[in-house]
DNA sequence: TGGACAATACAACAAACGGGGGATAGCGCA
DNA sequence: TGCGCTATCCCCCGTTTGTTGTATTGTCCA
């Protein structure tokens, strides 16, 4: 069985060599490239592009372990560039940063996993294998924040709760861009009633225009 | 050392007994409750509320493993109710569903982890331990979808790319709810120019009204 | 140097929006 | 029974939005 081909991007020589040693000792893994900066890594890895995203070039690694804090270009920008050209390449960040900003920017840029540097060698190898098989390994602190981010999304607006069912129904159509007369036709009521409802909605939400109302609705979604 | 106290909510007696057996055999784990439906589980677990969220009641489990498909109330609704009263209680879903809808609804409801039923006994125990220590265990297929959801958020609309810098600037103000005359004042141009720009924007986005334009802008943000 | 494009501006007009004042009818609850 | 809330409807009026014309200026590029 072919070993999993790994590339490292890490500026600290001690850490890089330590990772290389771990990979060299582990059966089934091979460190095929190691870079100490993002510019070299991007330039070199893009030399072996997958013709149309359906596979990786011959010399390409299967998995990239990318530091975030690097001299010059950041690891996050490197991920963005690499993923744009080689979407099948599996990349995991490996860094000391565990704040939401770094985590979410990295994932938005296209990173497939996010590990903390204090990850044990066994967990690191397990993560690389997981990546290779299409998983998204995360240190448990990271998973926790990612999961927590789903709960924060819904910030219930108390103003919205004061709307009646009919008002919510009309606000929903309003948000979709329906004209007053279209709402009236949809609900089989007169346009005057639509105006009255919308007037009441605006009063409850403390807004004057449709756009302000929409911003209140979208903000918590 | 005290064992981790686990409660199960699972309607299939075979699976429930199998989980109980796994927990009974594992040192450091104890199955303290098992329910075959969500109503009983919620009613019973809420009898031991944490006074103000800072801890769990004396008879409470540390960790709950919750099925989603149950007779009557769903496991997702049960999580919502339990988390509202006992936010410190750690709950992981354990189910066969691996579609985005179920995953994200469960996480939004407050679930701390999400496991698939085909998870091996070793991984299950590891997940329970991870939960107990504040992590968010996920099967790797689940982690993959959760991470992918961060990338999908930004679906670049090619129509938006055709807008000039000035048009984007005006669209931005338009989205914030500015009136035409306010945009004119903000940018030191005439209201007629604002109308012209907005007209051009609508043409490029293939919309007729402000609200339709906003929906195009918000959709990819 | 001519053409394409972006930004600016004006005019006239129709449609849509939003505020103000009413009014009626039903429904539940004190 | 009466009060409050909700949903429904009407009129008047000014403002805002969006369309359709036309036109000037500047820039960039072939």
Read off the pLDDT of residues B99-114 as tens digits, 9 standing for 90 and up: 999 999 999 999 999 9
**List of residues 6+ apart from A80 with CB closer than 8 A:** A109, A110
DSSP notation for A153-211: H----HHHHTS-HHHHHHHHHHHTT--HHHHHHHHTS-HHHHHHHHHHHHHHHT-SSHH
The yes-or-no verdict on residue B58 having pLDDT over 90 is: no
Does residue B46 sit in helix, strand or coil? coil
Q: Mean pLDDT, to the nearest integer, of A67-90?
A: 94
Question: For A70 and C6, how far is CA from C1' in angstroms?
Answer: 40
Q: Is the pLDDT of residue B56 over 70?
A: no
Instruction: Kindly tell me if the per-residue pLDDT of A194 is higher than 50.
Output: yes
SS3 B191: helix
CA distance A23 to chain B (A): 22
Average pLDDT of the segment spanning B161-167: 92
pLDDT higher than 50, residue B52: no
What does the pLDDT average to over A8-36?
A: 95
Choose the closest CB to A147 out of B107, B144, B151.
B107
Q: How far is CA A167 from CA A176, A193, B197, in A?
A: 14, 11, 34
Mutation test of the interface with chain B: which of A101, A147, A181, choosing the one with the most B Cβ atoms within 10 A? A147
**B164/C12 CA-to-C1' distance in Å:** 28
Per the model's pLDDT, the better-predicted residue between A7 and A1 turns out to be A7
Q: How many CB pairs under 8 A join A and B?
A: 94
Instruction: Please report, rounded to whole angstroms, the spatial distance between the CA atom of protein residue B218 and the C1' atom of nucleotide C27.
Output: 40
Mean pLDDT value across residues A200-205: 94
Residue A95's DSSP bridge partners are A116
Give, as ranges, the nucleotides of chain C with any atom within 7 Å of a protein CB: 6-12, 16-23
Helix H, strand E, coil C: the string for A42-56 is HHHHCCCCCCCCCCC
Judge whether residue A96 has pLDDT over 90: yes
Question: Predicted confidence band at A221 (pLDDT cuts at 50, 70, 90)?
Answer: low
Strand D–CB A165 distance below 7 A: yes
B173 three-state secondary structure? helix
Whether B62 contacts B35, CB under 8 Å: no
**Band of residue B15 on the pLDDT scale cut at 50, 70, 90:** very high
- Select the residue from B135, B153, B220 to test the A interface by mutation, using most A Cβ atoms within 10 A: B135
Residue whose C-alpha is closest to residue A114's, from A134, A139, A97: A139
Whether A208 CB is under 7 Å from strand C? yes
Whether the full predicted model's pTM is greater than 0.75, yes or no, is: no
Q: Which residue has the higher pLDDT, B2 or A105?
A: A105
Contacts of B107 in chain A (CB under 8 A): 147, 150-151
Coil, strand or helix: which one is B126? helix
- Mean pLDDT, chain B, as a whole number? 90
The answer to whether strand C lies under 7 Å from the CB of residue B208 is no
- Helix, strand, coil shares of chain A, percent, nearest 5, are 50, 15, 35
User: Which residue from B minimizes the CA distance to A215?
Assistant: B176
Tell me the chain A residues in contact with residue B104 when contact means C-beta distances shorter than 8 Å: 150
Contact A211 B214 (CB under 8 A): yes
- Strand locations in chain B (E): 4-9, 29-35, 63-66, 90-95, 113-116
Closest nucleotide to B181 by C1' from CA: D16
Contact A91, A83 (CB under 8 A): yes
Closest-CA distance, A77 to chain B, in angstroms, reads 14
């Amino acid at each position: 069985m072919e070993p999993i081909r790994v590339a490292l991007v890490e500026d600290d020589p001690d850490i890089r060599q330590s990772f290389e040693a771990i990979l060299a000792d582990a059966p089934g893994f091979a460190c095929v490239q190691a870079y100490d900066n993002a510019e070299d890594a991007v330039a070199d890895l893009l030399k072996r592009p997958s013709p149309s995203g359906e596979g990786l070039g011959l010399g390409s690694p299967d998995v990239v372990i990318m530091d975030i804090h690097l001299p010059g270009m950041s690891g996050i920008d490197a991920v963005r560039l690499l993923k744009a050209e080689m979407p099948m390449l599996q990349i995991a960040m490996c860094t000391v940063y565990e704040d939401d900003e770094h985590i979410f920017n990295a994932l938005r840029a296209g990173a497939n996993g996010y590990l903390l540097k204090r990850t044990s060698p066994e967990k690191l190898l397990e993560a690389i294998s997981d990546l290779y098989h299409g998983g998204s390994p995360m240190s448990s602190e990271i998973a926790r924040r990612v999961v927590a981010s789903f709960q924060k999304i819904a910030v219930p607006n108390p103003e919205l709760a004061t709307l009646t069912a009919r008002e919510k129904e009309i606000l929903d159509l309003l948000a979709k861009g329906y004209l007053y007369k279209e709402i009236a036709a949809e609900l089989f009521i007169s346009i005057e009633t639509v105006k009255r409802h919308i007037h009441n909605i605006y009063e409850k939400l403390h807004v004057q225009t449709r756009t302000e109302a929409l911003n209140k609705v979208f903000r918590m979604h």
